[in-house]
Amino acid sequence: MRSRSAAGEGRRVAVSGMGAVCGLGWGIPQIWAGLRAGRPGFAPLRRFDPSQHRTRLASEVGEPPPELARSCPDWRHLSIADRFAVFAAREAVSAMGTMEATGAGLALPLGEEAGVYFGSSTGGMFESELFFREFLRDRRRGHLSTLASQQVNGPGDAVARHLGVGGPVETVSSACASGALALGVALEAVRSGEVEIAVAGGSDSLCQLTYAGFNALRSVDEEPCRPFRAGRAGMSFGEGAAVLVLEPLERVLARGATPLAELAGAGASCDAHHMTAPDPTGTGAAVALETALADAGLPAQAVDFVNVHGTGTPLNDAAEWRALQRVFGERAAAIPLVASKALVGHLLGCSGALEAVATILCLRHGELHPAPAGDPGENDPELPVSLVTGEPLPFPQARTAISTSLAFGGSNAALVFSRFPDGAA
Amino acid sequence: MSEAVATPARIKRLIVESLNLEGMRPEMIEDEAPLFGEGLGLDSVDALELVVALEKEFGIKIKSQEIGREVFSSVSSLSQFIAGRT
């Protein structure tokens, strides 16, 4: 969304807590360990039989911690995406953060001053597929309760229920930009005073619809994805949830908590070009980046690194490179790029939220997580980027980063994060 | 439609089969144990699922206002209610 308040208007917004689950593990400490190690989480899919599909891999989330099921009275009726969301949201609001643990330290229920702003692409689609498989085989065997959580707003609603959120609860579903767009809506809600606490992020689980759909489009690499590399053949599937707690900066400081980062700006745009392919000129994507920077009141020169959308499809990475050139000019080839999807896969409607978490972790730890090293021969001469690979890149002076989400339908979103306290002051 | 008699044993089997109750066997449900809340721990989603399953299994129609605490309080009460309808 183009921001409703002009730059500098409204309250400054801190990220006071965050939580996540993805193929690298349940919880921020495990995820950071995996990101930092540059260790991809791809393995043959187990959730359902992929033998009818072109590809076999995914970065799949492992079994949930047993205490999670025990502590959720409605566990049986939660979709997998709901369960991811509830876990991430609980981690995000839990006891005060340390460098490893990142909870906001908020008491439950959060009440009417809190809102939920959530992104999801497919919600409980996996469970709907289970229902229809049973139903088509034998009408008596279709479990209606499997459909209880089929709606795309299921994850956000589950978060609201479990945290006792009494304010607005909204779900954004705009393909792979959903998570980033939801964070943009949440930023505006906190800035404007609509809410004091925004629990915002996204959740998506692996399902046959997306697995088959992206395969039918031939957008999936048979090997783990290789963003920005020559010979890249597509994306890799991931799943999970990521949640940020946003509060007015002053409120966080007043209770003696340390902000994890400042969410300084958000921007969005549309290519208005094609159902699935990006505009090859990168114009639309560049507008999202520029709008986000304007919203943050920052020039492009202030950006220290970019967490790229970087799906690893030939078209996306090329269009994103054009967008970076438009925004950063000659710096585009030198600015460090972080490609989280090379490790966690594409979390679809959650990807923008998970990559927001990865971006904040990089700022906070003063180092950029790598993509796998690969072969130097894999560098794409058409895309002369400075991708962080192999080892974490020490970058303690990094103050500001931008994260991009470039979705089907040409829907683009960008988020600007600044390190606190010396970020955008 | 089925001419089935709604014996407690059939209702228990139906509950376990239709509600996907992991680790639960029909004989583990007592005739008089509460189905919702404290007892078996069913909730309103389960109630809707159970109504559909009972209607199919026993060829009856259950009105919305009949889906209440009394009729659905236990296997025993369900059995009596269905017996009165078939």
> What are the tens digits of pLDDT across the range A287-346?
999 999 999 999 999 999 999 999 999 999 999 999 999 999 999 999 999 999 999 999
Q: Has A225 been annotated as catalytic?
A: no
Q: Residue A424 — φ and ψ, nearest 5°?
A: -110, 25
pLDDT per residue as tens digits for the range A366-397:
999 999 998 777 889 999 999 999 999 999 99
Interchain contact, B49 vs A140, CB within 8 Å: no
Length in residues, chain B: 86
CA distance A272 to A284: 8
* Segments of chain B with pLDDT less than 50: 1-2
Given B20, B43, B56, which is nearest A143 (Cβ)?
B20
Q: Which helix (H) or strand (E) holds A405?
A: strand A400-406
User: pTM value?
Assistant: 0.92
Q: Within A117-177, where are the H helices?
A: 125-137, 154-163
Q: Has A365 been annotated as catalytic?
A: no
The gap from C-alpha A106 to its chain's centroid, in whole angstroms, comes to 23
Interchain contact, A140 vs B20, CB within 8 Å: no
In the three-class reduction of DSSP (H, G, I as helix; E, B as strand; rest coil), residue A5 is classed as coil
| Plot region of B83 (φ>0 → left; ψ -120 to 50 → alpha; else → beta) | alpha
Which sign does the torsion angle of CA A266, A272, A275, A280 carry?
Answer: negative
Per-residue pLDDT at A425 exceeds 60: no
Gyration radius (Cα) of chain A, Å: 20
Query: What does the CA dihedral A65, A66, A70, A72 come to, rounded to 10 degrees?
Result: 30
Q: Sketch out chain B's domains with CATH numbers.
A: 8-83 (1.10.1200.10)
List, in sequence order, every beta strand (DSSP E) within A229-377: 240-248, 261-270, 305-307, 336-338, 367-368
Q: Sketch out chain A's domains with CATH numbers.
A: 13-418 (3.40.47.10)
* pLDDT (mean) for A168-193: 97
Per-residue pLDDT at A2 exceeds 70: no
Place of tokens 């809707």: B48
Interchain contact, B45 vs A140, CB within 8 Å: no
pLDDT per residue as tens digits for the range A184-235:
999 999 999 999 999 999 999 999 999 999 999 999 999 999 999 998 999 9
CA distance B2 to A145: 23
Interchain contact, A145 vs B56, CB within 8 Å: no
Per-residue pLDDT at A136 exceeds 50: yes
Per-residue pLDDT at A365 exceeds 60: yes
Per-residue model confidence (pLDDT) at position B3: 54
Of the candidates A328, A38, A348, A20, the one whose C-alpha atom is nearest the C-alpha of residue A176 is A348
Per-residue pLDDT at A6 exceeds 70: no
Residue to test with chain A: of B45, B46, B50, B57, most A Cβ within 10 A: B45
Residue to test with chain B: of A78, A133, A139, A143, most B Cβ within 10 A: A143
Residue of B nearest to A149 (CA): B45
Between A157 and B69, name the one with better pLDDT: A157
The mean pLDDT of chain A is: 94
Cβ burial, residue A251 (10 Å; 0-12/13-18/19+): middle
Q: Has A309 been annotated as catalytic?
A: yes
Per-residue pLDDT at A267 exceeds 90: yes
Biggest CA pair distance of chain B: 34
Residues of B with CB under 8 A from a CB of A: 18-20, 22, 43, 45-46, 48-49, 52, 56
Place of tokens 């809506």: A185
